[in-house]
């Protein structure tokens, strides 16, 4: 009875804390500017099913895809077992699904065990890739101590959870064989039975191990749940809405700024009166709140895998730009803005901005807008949109483009071409004759 | 176009030449070759000549939305005045901008890239690869322009134009959606690169050399410049030719 009450308290506290932190992230995301992504729900569901659920963009790197798939499927399916553990915890029952499910239960538990060992293996492989093989993709200027530790913590926690799960099953199995107490014969244990020789033979010792692992496993899961909002691992949740709200236009298409259209029309036709919509907004983005909520959602979705940076032509050739850093900077800055609001109230502003305090001009101007980063992201994050918005601010609000870019602007404006040629010479190419 | 309009004629298609195609000496040759193809198959076409102006693409990618929209609206006025319905262009940047970004500003046209036109003509049997230079057995590789490939998912049309040659087509390590940029996009064409350890076109050269191709097929005037600079950088001008899809088609047909 005491165990049940304790369990319910821990569960309630974990859920409360988690919802509170998720609420904060939601609030932070909604600090962004509006963007309409409500069109074409059928295609959106399809995109989400394909890219988040089906993980179709992962297959480009087969080993990572297979390993990740193990962890992903393991995570989702082992959750069925977690459901049973929750119910047992609340009602003080033991393996409550075993009776109603009968033979299917054995099959399920056996299946979970295979998944658990696959997850465990995948986590070990991932740890090796990060810490022993040291794949280039997992390093870079933005991969400082915290992002690196974060990745390792996630893998270690998962290994611990799976180990506890298998040890718990092994002890349970042994107790079942002893016909001890309420340990009814339930489940099959193809993997964990290999651990049997390592466990004690006394019922008391086994029960201690079984209960210990049970508590460690479930408290571990609840703690992990509460780690998510602080971690890159949050992608397991946001990958779904983030792909649902994907950009459905061709990647080459950049947004046309409606605020500019009004002004340009007024310039070309003096009788045109642009619609005024309240407070005039900044052109482009200086800080994170000038970005759209979708940009901010993407920042929280990023799991720092570095596929974007590894295909970025600027980064490959040694430039400072790293698309992953753009996303991480955006996330860190919006989190900082959110924390400021919590501490100092809604209207507080510090002296920092995304541009300059986080992302430098040098990074900004190294981008070739080639869309390789956008293509590479397994969850459809678009770092290019943020880069473009920052450029728009630098150019239209500050007139701070590199001198040669300003020359190009001048040429387009005066000659209708990015080079210094006269518009009158535009047709000279035909002078050489076509039919020669 | 003005002449045709004065005569009361409406061409089947407008050939949007683009700034590079108009002013860049190397790209002018591609422009003339696209005209040769159009003439060869008997498509009536027009160009805007001095009435054409930059689409605004480089301004937009570099963040100058004002300048972009000014250019776009002026161009839309000209195109609409001539009641243009269909446009072909030799530049993936013009293609992307007019096709995707002009509709939002009131300019709606059917826009195709010249590689798509060539593919259509091949499919219809109007274009073959006979009567000219033989590319048989030559190692040819194709460099995907970002704004044609990733930007607009046009990967097959240019390859179709090469398949007809009976050449030895090889893909580079980084191709199609994984294709590496030539380094010109996003306004980079008009500025010095940021500090780094090499230029992007030199990085791309490694892929080209690895493919052992003797002909690099391009489909964008900016890629053309970058790839040729890359070939020069490696002193491979004798061994490796960079040719546009249109030039290859013209040569293969002896136009």
pLDDT digits (tens, 9 = 90+) for A7-31: 999 999 999 999 999 999 999 999 9
- Interchain contact, A253 vs B100, CB within 8 Å: yes
Using a CB-CB distance cutoff of 8 angstroms, which residues of chain B are in contact with residue A62? none
**A vs B: CB pairs below 8 A:** 222
> What is the pLDDT, as a whole number, of residue A267?
83
> What is the pLDDT, as a whole number, of residue A436?
39
CATH class of A258-418: mainly alpha
Q: Topology of domain B128-253, per CATH?
A: Rossmann fold (3.40.50)
pLDDT tens for chain A, 436 residues long, are 788 999 999 999 999 999 999 999 999 999 999 999 999 999 999 999 999 999 999 999 999 999 999 999 998 888 888 899 999 999 989 999 998 998 899 999 999 999 999 999 999 999 999 999 999 999 999 999 999 999 999 999 999 999 999 999 999 999 999 999 889 888 899 999 999 999 999 999 999 999 999 999 999 999 999 999 999 999 999 999 999 999 999 999 999 999 899 888 888 887 877 676 666 789 999 999 999 999 999 999 999 999 999 999 999 999 999 999 999 999 999 999 999 999 999 888 899 999 999 999 999 999 999 999 999 999 999 999 999 999 999 999 999 999 999 999 999 999 999 999 999 999 999 987 664 3
- Interchain contact, B181 vs A372, CB within 8 Å: yes
Q: Topology of domain B2-118, per CATH?
A: Rossmann fold (3.40.50)
Q: Which helix (H) or strand (E) holds B204?
A: helix B200-211
Q: Do the interacting molecules here have an ipTM over 0.90?
A: yes
Strand partners, A354: none
Which position has the higher pLDDT, B163 or B2? B163
CA distance B92 to chain A (A): 10
CA distance B181 to chain A (A): 6
All structural domains of chain B with their residue ranges: 2-118, 128-253
**Which residue of B17, B19, B59, B63 to mutate against A (max A Cβ within 10 Å)?**
B63
Closest CA to B7 of B82, B65, B112: B82
Q: How far, in whole angstroms, is CA A257 from its chain's centroid?
A: 27
**Which residue of A322, A396, A426, A430 to mutate against B (max B Cβ within 10 Å)?**
A426
All structural domains of chain A with their residue ranges: 2-30+61-231, 258-418
> What is the pLDDT, as a whole number, of residue A277?
61
Strand partners, B16: B89
CA distance A168 to chain B (A): 46
Distance CA A427, CA B167 (A): 35
SS (H, E, C) A16-65: HHHHHHHHHHHHHHCCCECCCCCCCHHHHHHHHHHHHHCCHHHHHCHHHH
Distance CA A298, CA A238 (A): 8
């Amino acid at each position: 009875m005491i165990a049940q009450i304790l369990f319910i308290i821990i569960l309630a506290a974990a859920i409360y804390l988690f919802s509170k932190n998720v609420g904060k992230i939601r609030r932070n995301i909604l600090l962004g500017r509006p963007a309409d992504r409500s069109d074409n729900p059928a295609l959106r569901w399809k995109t989400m099913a394909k890219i988040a659920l089906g993980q179709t963009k992962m297959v480009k790197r087969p080993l990572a895809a297979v390993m990740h798939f193990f962890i992903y499927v393991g995570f989702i399916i082992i959750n069925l077992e977690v459901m049973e553990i929750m119910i047992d915890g609340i009602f003080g029952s033991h393996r409550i699904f075993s009776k109603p499910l009968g033979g299917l239960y054995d099959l399920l538990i056996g299946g979970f065990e295979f998944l658990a060992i696959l997850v465990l293996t995948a986590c070990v492989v991932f740890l090796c890739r990060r810490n022993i093989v040291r794949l280039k993709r997992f390093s870079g200027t933005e991969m400082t101590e915290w992002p690196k530790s974060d990745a390792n913590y996630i893998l270690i926690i998962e290994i611990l959870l799976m180990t506890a799960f298998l040890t718990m099953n092994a002890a349970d199995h042994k107790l079942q064989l002893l016909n001890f107490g309420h340990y009814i014969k339930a489940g099959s244990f193809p993997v964990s039975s290999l651990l049997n020789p390592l466990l004690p033979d006394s019922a008391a010792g086994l029960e201690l191990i079984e209960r210990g692992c049970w508590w460690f496993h479930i408290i571990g899961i609840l703690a992990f749940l509460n780690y998510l909002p602080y971690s890159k691992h949050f992608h397991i949740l946001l990958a779904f809405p983030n792909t649902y709200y994907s950009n459905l236009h061709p990647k080459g298409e950049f947004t046309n700024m409606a605020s500019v259209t009004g002004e340009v029309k007024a310039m070309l036709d003096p009788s045109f009166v642009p619609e005024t919509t309240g407070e005039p907004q900044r052109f482009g983005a200086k800080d994170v709140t000038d970005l759209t909520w979708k940009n901010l959602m993407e920042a929280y979705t990023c799991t720092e895998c570095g596929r974007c940076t590894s295909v970025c032509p600027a980064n490959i050739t040694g430039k400072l730009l790293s698309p992953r850093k753009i996303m991480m900077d955006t996330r860190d800055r919006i989190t900082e803005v959110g924390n400021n609001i919590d501490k100092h109230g809604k209207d507080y502003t510090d002296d920092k901005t995304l541009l300059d305090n986080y992302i430098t001009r040098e990074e900004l101007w190294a981008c070739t807008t080639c869309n390789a980063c956008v293509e590479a992201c397994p969850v459809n994050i678009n770092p290019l949109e943020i880069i473009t918005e920052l450029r728009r601010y630098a150019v239209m609000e500050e007139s701070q483009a590199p001198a040669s870019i300003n020359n190009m602007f001048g040429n387009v404006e005066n000659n209708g071409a990015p080079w210094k040629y006269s518009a009158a010479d535009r047709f000279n190419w035909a002078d050489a004759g076509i039919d020669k | 176009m003005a002449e045709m309009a004065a005569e009361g004629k409406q061409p089947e298609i407008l050939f949007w030449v683009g700034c590079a195609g108009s002013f860049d000496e190397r790209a002018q040759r591609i422009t003339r070759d696209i005209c040769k193809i159009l003439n060869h198959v008997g498509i009536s076409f027009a160009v805007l000549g001095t009435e054409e102006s930059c689409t605004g693409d480089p301004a937009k990618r570099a963040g100058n939305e004002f300048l972009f929209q000014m250019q776009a609206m002026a161009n839309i006025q000209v195109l609409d005045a001539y009641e243009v319905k269909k446009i072909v262009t030799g530049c993936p940047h013009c293609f992307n901008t007019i096709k995707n970004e002009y509709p939002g500003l009131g300019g709606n046209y059917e826009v195709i890239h010249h590689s798509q036109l060539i593919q259509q003509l091949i499919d219809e049997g109007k274009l073959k690869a006979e009567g000219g230079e033989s590319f048989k057995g030559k190692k040819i590789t194709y460099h995907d322009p970002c704004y044609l490939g990733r930007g607009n998912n046009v990967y097959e049309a240019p390859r179709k134009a090469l398949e007809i040659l009976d050449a030895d087509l090889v893909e580079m390590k980084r191709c199609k959606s994984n294709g590496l940029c030539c380094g010109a996009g996003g306004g980079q064409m008009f500025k010095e690169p940021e500090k780094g350890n090499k230029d992007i076109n030199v990085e791309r050269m490694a892929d080209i050399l690895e493919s052992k191709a003797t002909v690099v097929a391009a489909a964008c005037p900016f890629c053309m410049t970058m790839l040729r600079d890359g070939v020069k950088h490696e002193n491979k001008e004798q061994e490796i030719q960079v040719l546009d899809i249109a030039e290859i088609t013209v040569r293969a047909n002896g136009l």
